[in-house]
Amino acid sequence: MSAHASPIHHSEAPKGWIRHYIFSFDHKIIGTQYILLGLSAVTIGLILSLIFRTHLVWPDAHIWGFANGIVSPEDYLRLITMHGTLMVFFVLTTVPQSGFGNYFLPIQIGAPDMAFPTLNMLSFWTTLLALLVLLSSAFVPGGSAIGGWTAYAPLSAVGQIAGPGQGLGETLWVVSIALFCGGSLMSAINFLGTTIDLRTKGLSLMRMPLTVWGWFITACLALLAFGVLLAACILLLLDRLAQTSFFIPGNLDVSGVVLHHSGGSPLLWQHLFWFFGHPEVYIAILPAMGIISHVLSTFSRKPVFGYKAMVYSLTAIGFLSFAVWGHHMFISGMNPYSALAFSIITLVIGVPSAIKTFNWLGTLWGGKIHFTTAMLFAIGFVSLFVTGGLSGIFLAQPALDLYLHATYYVIGHFHLIMGVAAIFAMFAATYYWFPKMFGRMMNEGLGKLHFWITFIGVYCIFMPMHYLGYAGDARRYSSIESVNYMIPLHPVHFFITISAFVTAGAQLIFYFNFFWSMGHGKPAERNPWHATTLEWAVSTPVPHDNFAGDYPVIYRGPYEYSVPGAADDYIPQHLAPEQVAKAG
Amino acid sequence: MLSRKSSTGSAAPAVLFVIVLLLLVGSTLYFHIAKTWWFPPSITPVGNQIDQQFFITFVLTGIVFVLAQVALAWMIFRYRDHGQKAKFVRGNHALEVIWTTITLVIFVGLGIMAARAWGEVHFGGPAPGALEVEVTGVQFQWNFRYPGPDGKFGRIVTKDIDASVGNPLGLDPNDPEAKLNPVSPDLYLPVNRPIELMLRSQDVIHSFFVRELRIKQDAVPGLVIPIHFEIDKTGDYEITCNQLCGLGHYHMHAMLHVMSQADFDQWEKKQWASLESGQ
Amino acid sequence: MPPHVTVTDELEILGAHGGAKPPAGSGGGGGDDSRSSGSSGAFPQRIYVTGITIAMGAIFMFFMALVSAFIVRKGLGGDWFPFTMPRILWLDTAILLASSGTLIHARRLFKRGDRQGFRHWWAVTTLLGLLFLIGQLVAWRQMVAAGFYLASNASNSFFYVLTAAHGLHLLGGIAALLFVGWGRLRKMTLATGTEIVSYYWHFLDGLWVFLFLLLLLGR
């Protein structure tokens, strides 16, 4: 039997530009749409961050688009709220998982598409709608929300009286996040269903590329976490619009208005939010871990060191991530004994992360390292992950968190480990898979220039933030001039802002390289990196249903590089044993 | 066999990596040892304990940081493609077990050690005879309320809150005890005496932070959260808000004046006297 | 050896093996090919069962978040005032339980090949579902008539939130019943359609019993 030859329901590519590129059911188009959505969001988020960094250092700088050209304190809070929301939800959650995952998971497991193409399209359009709702909040009376991306109640719950932007702006924020939850849940169902049921013949779980493992575990987390955030958003909306008292306690006097709520609990919002929020951190970083393992192995020309340990540690992180949310709440007034329990579990979750780092180093050890741009970003990721991970050891101890909580130390920590590390994985993924996605190579010289400025730049931005934290500099301050001990920190802020501009400038190289290479890059071979997994077995551009009806069969694990006795230093997963050329 | 651009395996990126990673390690070590931007000295015994724990954590993570970054730099340099064949290794079970165990022991050990300082702050109550002060956060200011001469706090009524008539906390005008509760925009405390602060908020969540105390605690509306400590150095320290509370968050600021018991008694008497004369 | 062996080559070689599992120690899991390969001409039908199971997991977590909020909020004490449970909810519960029974019967008839009987009982199930929803609306009217509004007290708020969230999910269930019973399934077989709708329906039924007990005992 020509095994998997099956006439798939839509083996014909849809006709018409709109069906093909806009309302597409094809996972590759949807993946690309997600990536472009993320690219738009990251661009806006980056520009916003440059504006608030500028404001911190030059408070009187005239900036186009603001009243009188000046960024007011509420504008500053709008900027950081929008920056955080865009980056966490629409970039870190969206691109590594829904973007690259959508594009490559079906190909890597030998499937024609996602299990539920219509649902896939729906989840993209829901996410896009969520983004538009969020952005629209900038244009309503009162402007967008100033409550931070964590939207702590009651600041987020009592409405306009808590500050400008806390009226309609905050409502739109909540609606946007609720929509985003819906889109992510649909997407998670698709990822799980696809991985469970559509793997091709011979692709056992322990032969899946680590990218697929990353996406799979992430989908499990998303499935369990976003439902909780959705529930929390609904309760928050009711508090805001229907005068209920889920999160608003009694006897509040906000801006001279006595509120008629009673008995609600601000901590309840924090518990629900962080029950989602901590898995969310891993939703952002697990796909990145998969991508990095994949790229490191390819360009070290070695199997991933400790493949099974990698899989088990991914799974362990997934499980534990649901039991550590309290470490965001050490100073919230929660029970001090449960704080200790959360602290210990948080330190324990550091163990599988450390295991991954050791195994990445093990993968490099004894390798034959090719410094492609993708590889540079992967190595950069490991360095960032080590740095950002170690600062987490401080924050995991409640006694130390007492001092560091809500200072720039925390900003430095999570930007390195969650923000920049995940962005590095996205860059690695882009440089690595671009030839498959667009049939052309990206320019390696520009890529390397982009890497070096970015790598040095992010360290220059985020390392000094740790020092600001030691000095007690509080985050979310639109000016450091009101606190005497913060005023001497001005030169550090100045250095950070300058570094931010240089680093952001380097991203222009990336934009240019990305769009220019689409049309003018060197044409790519089918398998330019001499890699082993299935995406490199299909032709470029990838046919509409990936394998044109003939599904490959998998004979071995995903990272068979430099196998002794073989002629080539890589053996693709789908090559039958008798086809593997012997050395000599 | 593969025609590969020489640059992919050349020494240049490897050397650059080594330089950048060494610079990272060097500058990080420098700023931690030179303490260019650093914690102010602690003014409580618990603060000293916390600093001790900080020190242990700095040393441990510092060692790991240096080892990991240097190992990374070394491997990149040592195993750059210079025509060698890659080792075919799938992993090493013994190594996995060893490094898992070691990290588990170090991490959990740190956590258990840190528990002591945490317990000092949060388990158990204040020592007897502690001075109780009520701390109330409101957009965007702190108010500190002291007990009357009889050591009691009077009633507070939300609808009586009106800062414009000098009653920012809503002290009940019908409660004689409330009338003798001094309310101050700055915090005055005696040195070497157990203190208990009762944190509350009138509107949204605020967070009480004094660097020198090494204590940060949210003031949550609907809750009264106690924190306790004993200060062993007089001086003036800054109190800031550390939980986003609205557009004036950045200037929600107050001073902590730590004075001798005698000075404090005098200050307190003056407050009571002015309240009584105000009747 | 050429750098790129085409995929079709391998499949021919595979054919020589008579479709056996690939050699090289296939470790289970991957592609239970008895169902995934060839025959049905579309995605294997089991993906729909997998999909609905996963979706139910997400819905379960959503409700568990609401339920834990309920428990925590009630535990705060102070301002929690119980409401009078609308009597019609007992009847509603009975209706929903009955609908699960008729659904089981409909599927049994379907498996026997009795299409007419299947459609008949499928319709009865759909009607019972609609009846349940109407009953829920009546329950809301009874709450309002008794002065228990959405924002009156947290206990009331939770009553409305939980019943509304469940009702919306049940409305989806009714849509699925209608679609499978009278719509045109494209990729899904009718057997799969009835199977997954019944799983979802029984799940919502069980969820309702749980929520009803929670509200009854916890209000």
Q: Under a CB-based contact definition with an 8 Å cutoff, are residues A269 and A232 in contact? A: yes
The span from the first CA to the last CA of chain A, in angstroms, equals 34
Spatial contact of B211 and A403, defined as CB atoms under 8 Å apart:
yes
For chain B, what is the mean pLDDT? Answer: 92
Q: Any idea what DSSP says for residue A509?
A: H
Cβ within 8 Å, pair A301-B86: yes
The full DSSP string for B29-50 is HHHHHHTSS-PPPP-SHHHHHH
Which residue segment(s) compose the domain that A504 sits in? 28-249+263-579
Q: Which two structure tokens, joined as six digits, stand for C129?
A: 């579902």
Tokens of residue A405, six digits: 């909580």
Listed residue (A541, A419, A511) closest to A95, CA to CA: A419
Closest residue of B to A484, CA-based? B238
Beginning with the edge strand found earlier in the chain, give each strand of the sheet holding B141-145 in spatial order: B183-184, B141-145, B131-138, B194-201, B225-230
Selected for mutation to probe chain C from A6, A223, A234, A262 (highest C CB count within 10 Å) is A6
User: Which residues 6+ apart lie within 8 Å of B211 measured at CB?
Assistant: A403, A472, A485, B39, B40, B237, B238
Tens of pLDDT along A230-249? 999 999 999 999 999 999 99
User: What is the C-alpha to C-alpha distance for residues C110 and C121, in angstroms, rounded to an integer?
Assistant: 10
Could you check whether the bond before residue B140 is cis, i.e. omega within 30 degrees of 0? yes
pLDDT at position B208:
97
Q: Which of residues 555-584 of A touch C (CB under 8 A)?
A: 555-556, 567-568, 574-579, 581
Dihedral over alpha carbons A186, A187, A188, A190 (to 10 degrees): 90
Among A32-46, A169-183, B156-170, C166-180, the least confident range: B156-170
Residues of chain A with Cβ-Cβ distance to C21 below 8 Å are 201-202
Contacts of A235 in chain C (CB under 8 A): 66, 69, 161
Q: Which pLDDT score, from 0 to 100, does residue C35 have?
A: 34
pLDDT at res. C1: 35
Which chains lie within 8 Å of chain C at 3 or more CB pairs, if any?
A
pLDDT score, position B8? 55
- In chain C, pLDDT over 70 holds for what percent of residues? 81
pLDDT of C27 over the 60 cut:
no
pLDDT in tens, B211-230: 999 999 999 999 999 999 99
pLDDT in the model for residue A12: 59
The tokens for A515 are 């769009």
Q: Is any Cβ of chain C less than 8 angstroms from the Cβ of A232?
A: yes
- Cα separations in angstroms, A9 against A6, A12, A74, A112, C186: 9, 8, 53, 10, 9
Residue A257 lies in a domain: no
Q: What single DSSP character describes residue B258?
A: E
Same-domain check for residues B143 and B106: no
What whole-number distance in Å separates Cα of residue B148 and Cα of residue B136?
A: 17
Q: Once rounded to an integer, what is the mean pLDDT over residues C35-60?
A: 77
Put simply, the answer to whether A576 touches C50 (Cβ < 8 Å) is no
Q: Looking at chain A from residue 349 to 388, which residues have their Cβ under 8 Å from any Cβ of chain C?
A: none
CB pairs < 8 Å spanning A and C: 214
Same domain flag for B264 and B139 = yes
Q: Assess whether B110 and B188 both reside in one domain.
A: no
pLDDT at B9 exceeding the cut of 90: no
Task: Compute the distance between CA of residue A355 and CA of residue A351 in angstroms, rounded to an integer.
Answer: 6
Q: Is the pLDDT of residue A369 over 90?
A: yes
DSSP state of A570: B
* Mean pLDDT, residues C96-119: 95
Same domain? For B114 and B154 the reply is no
For C23, phi and psi rounded to 5 degrees? Answer: -65, -130
pLDDT (0 to 100) of residue A14: 67
Q: What is the domain count for chain A? A: 1
Q: How far apart are the CA of B31 and the nearest CA of chain A, in angstroms?
A: 8
Judge: B91–A305 Cβ closer than 8 Å, yes or no: yes
Q: Is the dihedral of CA C169, C170, C172, C177 positive or negative?
A: positive
Domain that holds residue B24: 8-80+97-122
With a CB cutoff of 8 Å and minimum separation 6, the contacts of A492 are A464, A467, A468, B37
By DSSP bridging, strand A253-254 and strand A257-258 are antiparallel
The pLDDT of residue C26 is above 60: no
Cα C20 to Cα C40: distance, rounded to the nearest angstrom: 19
Domain range annotation of chain C:
46-218
Domain count across chain B: 2
Residues B138, B267 within the same domain: yes
User: If you average pLDDT over every residue of chain A, what do you get?
Assistant: 94
**Which of A217-221, A424-428, A432-436, B114-118 has the weakest average pLDDT?**
B114-118
CA distance A580 to A217: 32
CATH for B205: 2.60.40.420
Does the structure show a pLDDT above 70 at C32? Answer: no
Would you call A273 an interface residue with chain C, using a CB distance cutoff of 8 Å?
no
Nearest CA in chain A to C38: A6
For residue B219, being part of any structural domain is answered with yes
**CA atoms of A513 and A186, how far apart (whole Å):** 33
Q: Is the pLDDT of residue A257 over 70?
A: yes
- Asked if residue A8 is part of any domain, the answer here is no
| Cβ contacts from A onto B, under 8 A | 347
Q: Which residue, among A198, A201, A247, would best test binding to C if mutated, counting the most C CBs under 10 Å from its CB?
A: A201
A228–C contact, CB cutoff 8 A: yes
- DSSP secondary structure code for residue B226 in this structure: E
Q: How far is A64 from chain C (nearest CA, A)?
A: 43
Q: What is the pLDDT of residue A21?
A: 81
pLDDT tens digits along A445-481: 999 999 999 999 999 999 999 999 999 999 999 999 9
- Residues of A within 8 A of C151 (CB-CB) are 242-245
Element (DSSP H or E) covering residue A562: none
- Residue to mutate among C4, C13, C61, C179, with most A CBs inside 10 A, is C61
Indicate if the pLDDT at residue C177 is higher than 80.
yes
When mean pLDDT is compared across A92-101, A572-581, B122-131, the lowest value belongs to B122-131
Q: How confident is the model at residue B103 (pLDDT cuts 50, 70, 90)?
A: very high
User: Which structure tokens are listed for A361?
Assistant: 């180093």
- Which distant-in-sequence residues (6+ apart) come within 8 Å of A533 by Cβ? A108, A209, A294, A558, A572, A573
Q: Residue B134: in which H helix or E strand, if any?
A: strand B131-138
Strands B206-210 and B235-241: antiparallel
What are the tokens at C136? 């829920």
User: Is the model's pLDDT at C10 over the cut of 60?
Assistant: no
Higher-pLDDT residue of C10, C141:
C141
Query: Pairing state of beta strands B194-201 and B131-138?
Result: parallel
Per-residue tokens: A428: 């690695």
**Is B221 found in the same domain as B258?**
yes
- Predicted confidence at residue B2, as pLDDT, reads 43
The whole-number average pLDDT for the span A393-421 is: 95
Q: Report residue A22's pLDDT band, with 50, 70 and 90 as the boundaries.
A: confident
Tokens of B79: 């195993």
Q: How far is it, in rounded angstroms, from Cα A70 to Cα A356?
A: 46
User: Which percentage of chain A shows pLDDT scores above 90?
Assistant: 90
Quote the CA–CA distance of B151 and B177 in Å, as a whole number.
9
Q: Considering the domain boundaries, does residue B206 fall inside one? A: yes
The predicted pLDDT at position C39 comes to: 33
| B70 occurs within a structural domain | yes
Query: pLDDT-derived band of residue B67, with 50, 70 and 90 as boundaries?
Result: very high
φ, ψ (nearest 5 deg) of residue C127: -65, -40
CA of A570, closest CA in chain B: separation in Å?
A: 11
CB contact under 8 A, B243 and A152: yes
List the chains bordering chain A where 3 or more Cβ pairs fall under 8 Å.
Answer: B, C
All residues of chain A having their beta carbon less than 8 Å from the beta carbon of residue B110 are: 347, 393, 397
Please tell me which residue, A23 or A74, carries the higher pLDDT value: A74
What's the mean pLDDT in A142-164? 94
Asked whether residue C12 carries a pLDDT value surpassing 90, the answer given is no
> What's residue A582's pLDDT?
87
A51 and A63 Cβ atoms separated by less than 8 Å: yes
Helix (H) or strand (E) run with residue A412 in it: helix A408-414
Q: Which chain A residues are Cβ-neighbours of C61 within 8 angstroms?
A: 223-225, 227-228
Instruction: Select the CATH number that applies to the domain covering C46-218 from these four: 1.20.120.80, 1.20.120.450, 3.40.50.300, 1.10.150.240.
Output: 1.20.120.80
What is the distance between the alpha carbons of residues B95 and A309, in angstroms, rounded to a whole number?
Answer: 11
CA of A411 vs chain B CAs: smallest distance (Å) = 13
Q: Do the Cβ atoms of C58 and A224 come within 8 Å? A: yes
Residues 6+ apart with CB under 8 A from B134: B144, B145, B146, B153, B197, B198, B200
Question: Does residue B101 share a domain with residue B42?
Answer: yes
B115 and B153 part of one domain = no
Tokens of A49: 């961050």
Neighbours of chain B (3+ CB pairs under 8 A): A
Convert the pLDDT of each residue in B119-136 to its tens digit. 887 887 888 889 999 999
- Residues of A within 8 A of B103 (CB-CB) are 350-351, 354-355
Which among C4, C7, C41 has the least Cβ separation from residue A7?
Answer: C41
**DSSP 8-state symbol, A475:** T
CATH of the domain at A137: 1.20.210.10
Q: Which residues numbered 518-557 in A keep a CB inside 8 Å of some CB on B?
A: 530
CB within 8 Å of C160: residues ≥ 6 apart: C140, C143, C150
The reply to whether A16 falls in a domain is: no
